[in-house]
């Protein structure tokens, strides 16, 4: 078990070893993803300790790298998956398929085929459905095993409208239809749980609305008979502070509010943190290649791009930034952008950064969740390498792609 005595609730970019980061950039090149697996285990252990009577899974979609999956398994987590590839990668990392939970969202035929085949030898696998169509498609495949129903609570929360899944019709069974769907599942399958996910990136000040969605889930559990359920899964969405002036999630308050909101249950409470576990355990190192004085700003060009980290372009997300080559230089406001030919390829506008110079290494923080997962090969850019830190050592866990990797599937 990870010792939490020296593990702060959030790791700021300034807390990383700057000399070590610069050495990693020199050794492995840039752009470079760095994941601290010790921090991953600390974060999971801290979260699980705040919910001692609950089952805390890891939402794999935040980061499905094998090294990360192995780390959360070592910390004691089971894994929640949203696609067949995440199921397979979890098994490859050492997960018992009987412990996996597959949350199917408009699943392609291949995904259902894979899950049903997997369940033949792993009857403990749980499939979470968000549409009655999925029940029909499972029955057509001869599946009659473990089912959880995903509820749409009608309340979405989180840092951006694109992650407020609790109010999006794409996700889950409409709230008032859940009892009839539960009856149907009990007739044809094994109903083991209810599931909901209100949104992503929730910090302490957003807990009240988040818990309103959880309260509806608890009420529905009692309505359909929670004594006959194994679990009630209220999802994840628990955030980390991306901005330096934001406070970390108050886990004690979160635990109390979630417990109060869900109410008395005979079923086990489940939670699925993803971002909380990996976000501040990862960063990107990128080299400065261009300094351009423009009329209204100084443009700093780096070799990372929206193909490396798309969150600023997709969500307008803030990621902290630090000049690890010269952190003590006088800061000045700069606009930091990458080499992709679009105005969306900008990481920061007028951001105070210790005055960058060519060949300096900049660190982009809180890149451990939905960073490499959303990386692409846009502009025929090979995806970066990834280095893992663990027990004082570093190792390459994902090599840098070559152009041959980019074109390998072409015919």
Q: Mean pLDDT check: name the lowest of 53-57, 143-147, 200-204, 237-241.
A: 200-204
Query: HSE of 19 in the Cβ direction (CA atoms, 13 Å)?
Result: 0
Q: What is the mean pLDDT of residues 352-357?
A: 97
Confidence (pLDDT) at 173: 92
Confidence (pLDDT) at 258: 95
311 is in an annotated binding site: yes
pLDDT category of residue 202 using cuts at 50, 70 and 90: confident
Whether omega before 276 lies within 30 degrees of 0, making that bond cis, reads no
Name the percent of the chain lying above pLDDT 70. 95
Confidence (pLDDT) at 2: 54
Enumerate the β-bridge partners of residue 386: 33, 398
Residue 158 has pLDDT above 60, yes or no: no
Per-residue pLDDT reduced to its tens digit, 102-141: 998 899 999 999 999 999 999 999 999 999 999 999 999 9
Confidence (pLDDT) at 163: 39
Residue 400 has pLDDT above 70, yes or no: yes
Q: Which residue has the tokens 């008032």?
A: 176
In whole angstroms, what is the distance from residue 339 CA to residue 229 CA?
52
Confidence (pLDDT) at 3: 61
Residue 5 has pLDDT above 90, yes or no: no
Q: What is the mean pLDDT of residues 294-300?
A: 93
273 is in an annotated binding site: yes
Q: How many CB atoms lie within 10 A of CB 326?
A: 15
Residue 160 has pLDDT above 60, yes or no: no
Mean pLDDT over each residue of the chain, to the nearest integer: 93
Q: Mean pLDDT check: name the lowest of 60-64, 172-176, 185-189.
A: 172-176
Per-residue pLDDT reduced to its tens digit, 30-68: 999 999 999 999 999 999 999 999 999 999 999 999 999
Q: Which two tokens stand for residue 119?
A: 């369940």
Closest to 317 measured CA to CA, from 207, 107, 191, 160: 160
Per-residue pLDDT reduced to its tens digit, 307-337: 999 999 999 999 999 999 999 999 999 999 9
pLDDT category of residue 253 using cuts at 50, 70 and 90: very high
Long-range contacts of 329-334 (CB under 8 A, 24+ apart): 329/354, 329/355, 330/354, 330/355, 331/355, 332/298, 333/297, 333/298, 334/297, 334/298, 334/299, 334/300
**Residue numbers annotated as active site:** 341
Domains in the chain, please, with CATH? Answer: 96-273 (3.20.20.10), 280-407 (2.40.37.10)
Q: Mean pLDDT check: name the lowest of 154-163, 341-350, 354-363.
A: 154-163
In whole angstroms, what is the distance from residue 137 CA to residue 134 CA?
5
Q: What is the mean pLDDT of residues 176-183?
A: 96
Confidence (pLDDT) at 166: 42
Confidence (pLDDT) at 310: 97
Confidence (pLDDT) at 168: 58
Backbone angles phi, psi at 308, to 5 degrees: -85, -45
Per-residue pLDDT reduced to its tens digit, 214-236: 999 999 999 999 999 999 999 99
> Does the model's pTM come out above 0.85?
yes
Closest to 196 measured CA to CA, from 168, 224, 223, 230: 168
Per-residue pLDDT reduced to its tens digit, 261-288: 999 999 999 999 999 999 999 999 999 9
């Amino acid at each position: 078990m990870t010792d939490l005595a020296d593990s702060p609730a959030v790791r700021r970019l300034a807390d990383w070893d700057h000399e070590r980061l610069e050495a990693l950039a020199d050794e492995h090149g840039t752009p470079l993803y760095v994941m601290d697996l010790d921090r991953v285990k600390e974060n999971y252990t801290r979260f699980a300790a705040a919910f001692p009577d609950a089952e805390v899974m890891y939402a794999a979609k935040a980061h499905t790298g094998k090294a990360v999956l192995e780390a959360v398994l070592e910390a004691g987590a089971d894994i929640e998956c949203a696609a067949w590839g995440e199921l397979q990668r979890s098994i490859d990392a050492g997960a018992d398929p009987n412990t996996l939970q597959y949350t199917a969202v408009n699943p392609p035929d291949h995904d259902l085929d894979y899950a049903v085949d997997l369940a033949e030898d792993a009857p403990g696998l749980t499939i979470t459905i968000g549409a009655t169509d999925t029940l029909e498609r499972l029955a057509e495949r001869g599946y009659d095993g473990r089912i959880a129903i995903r509820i749409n609570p009608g309340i979405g929360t989180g840092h951006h409208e694109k992650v407020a899944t609790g109010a999006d019709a794409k996700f889950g069974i409409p709230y008032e239809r859940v009892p009839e769907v539960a009856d149907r599942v009990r007739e044809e399958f094994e109903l083991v749980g209810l599931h909901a996910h209100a949104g992503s990136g929730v910090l302490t000040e957003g807990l009240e609305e988040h818990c309103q969605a959880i309260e509806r889930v608890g009420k529905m559990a009692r309505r359909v008979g929670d004594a006959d359920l194994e679990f009630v899964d209220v999802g994840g969405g628990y955030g980390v502070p991306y901005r330096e002036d934001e406070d970390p999630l108050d886990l004690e308050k979160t635990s109390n509010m979630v417990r109060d909101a869900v109410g008395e249950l005979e079923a086990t409470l489940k939670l699925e943190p993803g971002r909380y576990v990996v976000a501040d355990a990862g960063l990107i190192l990128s080299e400065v290649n261009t300094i351009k004085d423009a009329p209204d700003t100084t443009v700093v060009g780096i070799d990372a791009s929206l193909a490396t980290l798309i969150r600023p372009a997709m969500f307008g997300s803030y990621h902290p930034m630090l000049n690890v080559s010269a952190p003590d230089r006088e800061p000045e406001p700069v606009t930091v952008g990458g080499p992709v030919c679009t105005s969306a390829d900008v990481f920061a506008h007028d951001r105070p950064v210790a005055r960058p110079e060519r060949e300096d290494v900049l660190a982009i923080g809180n890149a451990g969740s939905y960073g490499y997962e959303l990386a692409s090969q846009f502009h025929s850019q090979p995806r970066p390498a990834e280095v893992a830190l663990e027990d004082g050592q570093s190792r390459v866990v994902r090599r840098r792609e070559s152009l041959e990797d980019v074109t390998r599937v072409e015919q």
